[in-house]
Amino acid sequence: MKRLLIVSLFILAGQVYAQDLQQKISGAFSRLQADSQCSYASLSLTVLDAKTGEQVFAANPNMGLATASTLKTITSITAFNILGADFKYQTQLGYAGEITADGTLNGDVIIKGAGDPTLGSWRYEQTKEAHVLALMTNALQKAGIKKINGRIIGDDSIFGSQSIPEGWIWQDIGNYYGAGTSGLCWRENQFDIKLRTGVVGNPIGISRTVPLMPNLTFKSELVNGATGSGDHAYAFLPVGSTVMYLRGSYAIDQDKKSISAAIPDAAYDAAYRLADTLRKLGITVSNGAESAATLNAKSLQVPLIAKNITTIQSPPLSRIIYWLNQKSINLYAEQLLKTIAWKQGRKPTTANGVEEVQKFWKARGIDPNTINTYDGSGLSPGDRVTTATLAKILQSAKKESWFADLYESLPVYNNMKMKSGSINNVLCYAGYQAHNGRELCFSIMVNNFSGTSRGIKEKMFRVLDVLK
């Protein structure tokens, strides 16, 4: 009887504790909902026990809302499940044609991409531009090639020709964060434009690009903004065009004097950089650089590799996902989404990737209608996911062998491990938190708030503080 009494007291204490936490969350959420910034907003919050999946608190859990970049957690967890934490992309370098006795290649050098988003990236030692170019040039020299009577071709055909997901908006396309997918990425498909600022209200000039982009021309319609007005500069590149427009304003007190834009044809740029490096080493390339896109425009096909001379491996998926979430890299998420489709035996398109994500979670009891998305990064304002589904997917990862890698990838905001997401009048957070030793996972979304992002963020943090 004594033991039974003790057990009963423990159960009763646990119930009181759970009810107390639920009441505190409810009160904090109600205050957020009643705030003037949320007068016309849609709000949702789901909190689950990360070990058991038990619902701790839910408000509007089945309301489909724009996720912004918190969608990257779903893409990350699905990729871990389907591809595996040790998955690596493999980029091939080879040639078509014959090498003569004097070292002349009568044919083409081909860089065949497999979707690696890290090739040429500065984030890892093994992927840096100079290192990758050195690997390629060394392999060509070891093959005995001293002259190329042909072309350097960047073959990005594995991912098809549609690089921009449906649902992305015009203002984002052309900027570094709106870089399109490619079967052969290079330098994260971005470059920098250095600005020449001046008097407020006057036009801003362009001093140079880093690196040089000889295949693009630029027209600046940017104006100098007043001190403290910030960076509101956007790059616009019409599909199929080589003329990039810069529009908006850029404050005269901005230190960087630079914006980052998207490379429209990353495969061409990779081929161009290799051709330029070979030229500096005294290895001439008679017919310059090409990509699948430039060849298709001439009604020409990309030749097949007759002999592969080296394979360049990416970092493992666990490290790719680390930077994907730490820096919220849209390109990484979109490349992974297409890779998921490829791994499942489908044509690697964004739409097929979305379908495979839905199918994967449907098989695990989640209604695919609660994952109504256009992409894998959350950049599309048309994405709709429920907090209940996002929290369940976070909870499912807790038992997996790769969970530590996922957890490490999440940034720290408000002293909590969580992914943030923000687009126009949307702010969301999703992640993990321990409360008095109890492990929790959560998803909170606010759509169509009024006022400043800073203001709504502070108020959302007050809700999340209850979970600490």
Q: What is the mean pLDDT of residues 194-208?
A: 96
Please report, rounded to a whole number, the percentage of residues in the chain having pLDDT higher than 70: 96
What pLDDT was estimated at residue 9? 44
Query: Residue 215: is its pLDDT beyond 90?
Result: no
Ranges in the chain annotated CATH 3.50.80.20: 90-161+265-315
- Residue 225 CA to residue 228 CA, distance in Å, equals 8
pLDDT tens by residue, 316-363: 999 999 999 999 999 999 999 999 999 999 999 999 999 999 999 999
Which pLDDT score is estimated for 239? 75
Q: Average the pLDDT over 214-241 and give the result.
A: 92
Question: Average pLDDT over the chain, rounded to whole?
Answer: 95
Sign of CA dihedral 218, 222, 227, 232: negative
193 burial via Cβ count (<10 Å: 0-12, 13-18, 19+) = buried
CATH code for 90-161+265-315?
3.50.80.20
Q: What is the pTM of this model?
A: 0.94
Would you state the pLDDT for residue 13? Answer: 45
Query: pLDDT digits over 104-154, tens only?
Result: 999 999 999 999 999 999 999 999 999 999 999 999 999 999 999 999 999
Q: How confident is the model at residue 460 (pLDDT cuts 50, 70, 90)?
A: very high
Radius of gyration of the chain (CA): 25
Count CA within 13 A, CB hemisphere, residue 466.
23
CATH architecture of 24-86+318-465: 3-Layer(aba) Sandwich (3.40)
Q: Say whether pLDDT at 1 is over 70.
A: no
pLDDT tens, residue by residue, 373-427: 999 999 999 999 999 999 999 999 999 999 999 999 999 999 999 999 999 999 9
User: In which residue ranges of the chain is CATH 3.40.710.10 found?
Assistant: 24-86+318-465
The whole-number pLDDT of residue 4 equals: 56
For residue 429, which of 80, 43, 23 has the smallest C-alpha distance?
43
Averaged pLDDT, 253-260: 94
